[in-house]
Structure 1
Amino acid sequence: MPAADTGGAQVKSAVRTVELLEYFAGRPGMHSLASVQEAIGYPKSSLYMLLRTLVDLGWVETDATGTRYGIGVRALLVGTSYIDGDEVVAAARPTLDRLSDDTTETIHLARLDGTDVVYLATRQSPHHLRPFARVGRRLPAHATSLGKALLATYTDEQVRAMLPPTLAPLTEHTHTDREQLIEELRTVREQGYAVDREEHTLGLRCFGVAIPYRTPARDAISCSVPVARLTAGHEQMIKEALFEARERLTLAGRRL
């Protein structure tokens, strides 16, 4: 969708640049000029010039033919600097390490960004059967335990303002009705944790808690476990470990 005219050519150009980079960030791989133009709607001639400028600066890469484009290495450098400079991520490292050791499962720290959660840190499970995870991954909040734990720190009316009535499914178990999700968020508030019951990935169950060092919360932690390895005793231990980690991270966050 074309950028809105914000009253000046320089500002409009900056908005278009950011929108173009976000387009590539959300769609891995290489894309033709025609497919990019169709998706974001900029005039083809100005889009081509913008792409060539970003290629020259290292923000966008092109293939050997010079006709397909993707995100460039400079975007990685900026993303890495965000993680490296974030005080919450730095303060959370010992707690994430301990949580990983205690549960022997995959651990995530994520931040709410609009209606998505973005992974800020992960600790991989030592088990052979484990979920794929990477820093910078973006997922819809309504389909993750991290996101539901964070959405539960908002009021029902705030959630209605944030999310559309119909939600996109990722699996057959994903909530697609906003009101059903809101009903579950009430349960999340009561019990203090959220559960992703194969709503993002089939065969995977995740438990998440928000870190309430600010209200509404913006950060959360989760533990992901293959359903095949999850027992009632293991689940209880994971919840208790998450509650303990939440207390440590809440105290650390309030000191920042």
Structure 2
Amino acid sequence: MTEQGISVPHVKSAVRTVELLDFFAQYPGLHSLSDLQGKLGYPKSSLHALLRTLVGLGWIETDVTGTLYRIGMRALLVGATYIDGDPVVQIARDALDWLAEVTGETVHLARLDHFDVVYLATRASRHYLRPFARVGRRLPASTTSLGKAILATREEDEVAGLLPAELPRLTKNTIDDQGRLLADLRRIRKRGYAVDREENTEGLRCFGVALDIAQPPRDAVSVSVPVPRLTPGRDKEIAAFLLEARDRIELAARGVRRTY
């Protein structure tokens, strides 16, 4: 492993701890020791000792039988601290509130992490809408307007280096071909915003813009609209509000000491 060109030694127990917590974050619910051992490949005795340690520290919890494991309360506390202390989340708060109010739709703020986007803030639609994304949720960047907006700020060779060998396919509309994705990113650069055409959730169209705050940009804002509510001209109206929100956030970020 390297960090900024400097070799960083692995500490096996630390790596296994992080990988185990990542597994629980990716696969919510209860898991048996045998299931975890099969998925992670650790020696069962070492895994059991690690689980006991993390249970004792509150990072992992067990069911009443003590044989099934899930993520613990301490992980929530640490995650909440990250959100509460993130400067972009704080800077964007008023603009997200405004965007949700003027559109009446669900609004998200997310950040690129490797080839995924992680949701940092959400404002719910005033209309009934089954929750489909939550703070802390991770989704493939290529399937969301948020992720595509951020990827479109990169050069094509950089994007190609970020792409996994196989692009994930979440719906029948998901772009799962690298050439098609790169072509879509070129259209996004010309248009100024990204569109997810039911590529992540069927029946839902999303519009996203990247925020020019960090370099390279790593954050984006989106508006999600159920397809039946996309009346003629509504997409252009949503895009205009979204671009205005982007400008408000970037203006608020100017002069703020960059710690992000």
Same fold by TM (over 0.5)?
yes
Q: What SS class does the counterpart of residue 255 from structure 1 fall into?
A: coil
Is residue 97 of structure 2 the alignment partner of residue 108 of structure 1? no
8 Å Cα contact 1:60-1:72 kept in structure 2: yes
1:216 aligns with 2:225: no
Cross-structure match for 2:12: 12
The residue number in structure 1 matching 2:80 is: 80
**2:127 maps to 1:124:** no
Paired residue for 1:55?
55
Deviation of residue 214 (structure 1)?
A: 2.9
On the 8 A contact 1:209/1:243 being kept in 2, the answer is yes
Aligned residue in 2 for 1:201: 201
Matching residue's letter, 2:178: R
- TM-score, normalised by the number of residues in structure 1: 0.94
Counterpart residue identity of residue 95, structure 1: A
In structure 1, runs of 5+ residues without a counterpart are 1-5
AA of the residue aligned to 2:74 = R
Residue-pair matches, total: 249
For the pair 1:173 / 2:173, whether they are aligned, the reply is yes
What whole-Å deviation, never above 9, does each CA across 1:125-182 have from its counterpart, x for those lacking one? 0112455331111111000000000011111101111112421100011011112101
CA distance in 2, matches of 1:7, 1:217: 29
Secondary structure of 2:52's counterpart equals: helix
User: C-alpha distance in 2, partners of 1:122/1:114?
Assistant: 21
Q: Displacement, 1:231?
A: 1.2
Q: Cα RMSD (Å) of the superposition? A: 1.3
- Give the aligned partner of residue 42 of structure 2: 42
Q: Return the offset for 1:54.
A: 0.3
Question: Judging changes above 3 Å, is the alpha-carbon distance between structure 1 residues 201 and 55 closer, same or farther for their aligned structure 2 residues?
Answer: same
**Which residue number in structure 1 is paired with residue 230 of structure 2?**
230
Say which is worse superposed, 132-141 or 96-105, in terms of deviation.
132-141
Give the drift of 1:7.
4.9
- Counterpart of 1:185 in structure 2: which amino acid? L
Q: Is the 8 A contact 1:106 1:131 kept in 2?
A: no
Q: Deviations over 1:207-227 (max 9, x none)?
A: 000001233211000000000
Q: Separation in 1 of the partners of 2:130 and 2:73?
A: 28
CA distance in 2, matches of 1:130, 1:122: 13
TM-score by length of 2: 0.93
Which amino acid is the alignment partner of residue 58 of structure 1? G
Q: Percent same amino acid at aligned positions?
A: 62
Query: What's the CA shift string for 1:89-145, capped at 9, x where partnerless?
Result: 011111000000110000000000110001110000011245533111111100000
8 Å Cα contact 1:144-1:199 kept in structure 2? yes
- Residues 60 and 69, structure 1, Cα contact 8 Å, conserved in 2: yes
* C-alpha distance in structure 1 between counterparts of 2:46 and 2:165, whole Å: 36
Q: Matches of 1:66 and 1:73 in 2, distance apart?
A: 16
Separation of aligned partners in 2, 1:140 and 1:163: 10
Counterparts of residues 154-165 of structure 1 (less than 5 Å): 154-165=154-165
Aligned to 2:64: 64
Q: 8 Å contact 1:213–1:251 — kept in the other structure?
A: no
The 1:130–1:192 alpha-carbon spacing in structure 2 relative to 1, beyond 3 Å, is farther
Please tell me whether residue 140 in structure 1 is matched to residue 140 in structure 2: yes
C-alpha change, 1:188 and 1:7, in structure 2 (3 Å) is closer
